[in-house]
């Protein structure tokens, strides 16, 4: 999930760090300044979320001079607002991906998703990023009868591809989750968790140490020119660059024609409890796993580094207001863990992520030298970090055919102007599916 460029007209959010558990407990943000005057570089990156910062780090390690600009600050968007679960794979199952992209491309795309969590934890270790990174596995329990079949299929699909995935049933599942709400699930050893805003800020600190220039409070007004001679115009200066990477995620503006209408921005929420008593804390996910169930409107849950239950998902909207999502999350938490006593909630926050029509990540190159990455579809931590590596390699000279993500044309989502109504209708339909099983 990437941070924002300038989302004022799309979501109307004020460009300040939203109140959240992550904002209250993250490592210190880097000291940055807005762009003033004209600068030159090899590569200009719009957006300082996971994708943009990962790209900048890997380009800097390849010896290229990078400038990153963001209308807000590192991790302001979805990168700093998610549940913090590092999950392997894409939103689509591997066999589905291989049907959409038959042959070598599908195999590369599946492998890309499979290896993505490892890229996150390798980056954390290499640069000593202080973000509470834990790689103890992700559990997906089945919520409905259809979820039961999905869990069995998904586990077997990854086992067939060499992953040590395991089915969990009955007492074994309870021992790892701390709730008897589910009777079957599977565990993926590739997954884990981070403090997402700390990770974003840690990436920014790392990029700065490598010589990357990052400018916050710098809204790009236009991108003109062509490969080798681009100009990014801002309110207080310009960036002259050979290549441009747009890594704004769901917070895209109109810098690139067709980008904003190529996906649907969906708002999801997170809630967090007060710090739990030690006996309660030790009963929830006691081995340090994280979990997301199979609901159509999935519910994810984990413990925060300071011992709170953090839950996410369970509803979606295309609007600013998350007041209808939060009660669903509170009820889901009670449904799972009421046997441990009364749950007291302290935080609620939300943000957007980009949903593509095929639920796969996309790389676009509408003109030579201009590169776009979008569409993590709720798998943003691992996928966006790895997309940064792909973009860095591409800018450094890799052929499009060498990338693990296919380079595709921008395509408008049908009836995009009615996206709010569509998201609302889809949400109600998915809730009905979850109730009926």
DSSP letters spanning 242-267:
EEEEE--GGG--SSSTTTTTSSEEEE
Domain count, the chain: 1
Instruction: Tokens for 77, please give them.
Output: 């968007």
Residue ranges making up the domain that contains 278: 21-421
Say yes or no to pLDDT of 432 above 60: no
Any idea which of 6-20, 42-56, 249-263, 412-426 has the lowest mean pLDDT?
Answer: 412-426
Residue 361 lies in a domain: yes
Residue 330 lies in a domain: yes
- Residue 437 in this model has a pLDDT that exceeds 80: no
Taking only the tens place, the pLDDT of each residue in 305-347 is 999 999 998 555 556 778 888 998 999 999 999 999 999 999 9
Confidence of residue 430 (pLDDT cuts 50, 70, 90): very low
Write the CATH number for 151.
3.50.50.60
What integer pLDDT is reported at residue 313 of this predicted model?
87
Q: What is the DSSP string of 156-222?
A: HHHHTTT---EEEEHHHHHHHHS-SS-SEEEEETT-EE--HHHHHHHHHHHHHHTT-EEESS--EEE
Q: Looking at the domain assignment, is residue 434 inside a domain?
A: no
Residue 15, domain member (yes or no)? no
Query: Tens digits of per-residue pLDDT, 248-297?
Result: 988 888 899 989 888 888 888 999 999 999 999 999 999 999 999 998 66
Percent of the chain with pLDDT over 70: 89
Q: Give the end-to-end CA distance of the chain in Å, rounded to a whole number.
A: 29
| Residue 370 falls inside a structural domain | yes
Over range 228-233, report the average pLDDT: 97
pLDDT of residue 22: 98
pLDDT tens digit sequence for 56-87:
999 999 999 999 999 999 999 999 999 999 99
Kindly state whether residue 184 falls inside one of the protein's structural domains. yes
Average pLDDT of the chain is 90
pLDDT beyond 90 at 93? yes
Confirm whether 9 is domain-assigned.
no
| Count of C-beta atoms within a 10 Å radius of residue 150 | 17
> Mean pLDDT throughout 196-216?
98
Distance CA 221, CA 85 (A): 34
Indicate the range of 7-21, 28-42, 285-299 predicted with least confidence. Answer: 7-21
Q: How confident is the model at residue 246 (pLDDT cuts 50, 70, 90)?
A: very high
- Residue with tokens 């890309």, as numbered in its chain: 112
Whether pLDDT at 388 is above 80 = yes
Label residue 208 by pLDDT band (50, 70, 90): very high
Q: Is the pLDDT of residue 182 over 60?
A: yes
């Amino acid at each position: 999930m990437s941070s924002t460029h300038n989302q004022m007209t799309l979501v109307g959010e004020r460009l300040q760090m939203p109140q959240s558990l992550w904002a209250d407990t993250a490592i210190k943000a880097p000291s940055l300044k807005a762009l003033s005057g004209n600068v030159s570089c090899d590569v200009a990156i719009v957006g300082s979320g996971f994708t943009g910062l990962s790209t900048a780090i890997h380009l800097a390690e390849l010896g290229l001079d990078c400038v990153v600009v963001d209308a807000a600050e590192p991790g302001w968007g979805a990168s700093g607002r998610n549940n913090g679960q590092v999950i392997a794979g894409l939103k689509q199952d591997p066999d589905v991906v291989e049907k959409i992209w038959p042959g070598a491309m599908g195999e590369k795309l599946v492998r890309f998703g499979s290896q993505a969590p490892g890229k996150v934890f390798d980056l954390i270790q290499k640069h000593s990023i202080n973000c509470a990174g834990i790689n103890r596995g992700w559990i997906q329990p089945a919520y409905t009868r259809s979820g039961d079949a999905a869990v069995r299929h998904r586990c077997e699909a990854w086992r067939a591809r060499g992953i040590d995935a395991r089915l969990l049933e009955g007492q074994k599942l309870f021992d790892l989750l701390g709730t008897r709400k589910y009777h079957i699930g599977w565990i993926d050893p590739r997954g884990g968790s981070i403090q997402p805003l700390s990770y974003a800020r840690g990436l920014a600190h790392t990029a700065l140490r490598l010589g990357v220039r990052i400018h916050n409070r710098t809204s790009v007004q236009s991108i003109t020119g062509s490969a080798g001679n681009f100009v990014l115009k801002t309110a207080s200066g310009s960036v002259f660059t050979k290549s441009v990477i747009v890594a704004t995620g769901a917070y895209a503006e109109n810098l690139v024609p067709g980008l904003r209408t190529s996906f649907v921005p969906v708002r999801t929420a997170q809630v967090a409890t007060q710090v739990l008593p030690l006996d309660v804390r030790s009963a929830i996910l006691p081995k340090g796993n994280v979990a997301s169930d199979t609901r159509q409107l999935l519910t994810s849950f984990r413990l925060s580094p300071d011992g709170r239950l953090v839950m996410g998902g369970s509803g979606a909207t295309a609007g600013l207001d998350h007041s209808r999502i939060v009660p669903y999350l509170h009820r889901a938490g009670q449904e799972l863990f009421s046997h441990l006593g009364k749950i007291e909630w302290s935080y609620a926050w939300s943000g957007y992520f980009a949903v593509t029509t095929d639920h796969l990540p996309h790389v676009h190159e509408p003109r030579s030298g201009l590169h776009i990455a979008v569409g993590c579809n709720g798998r943003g931590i691992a996928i966006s970090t790895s997309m940064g590596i792909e973009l860095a390699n591409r800018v450094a000279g890799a052929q499009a055919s060498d990338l693990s993500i296919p380079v595709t044309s921008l395509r408008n989502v049908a009836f995009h102007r009615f996206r709010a109504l569509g998201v609302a209708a889809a949400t109600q339909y998915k809730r009905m599916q979850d109730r009926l099983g």
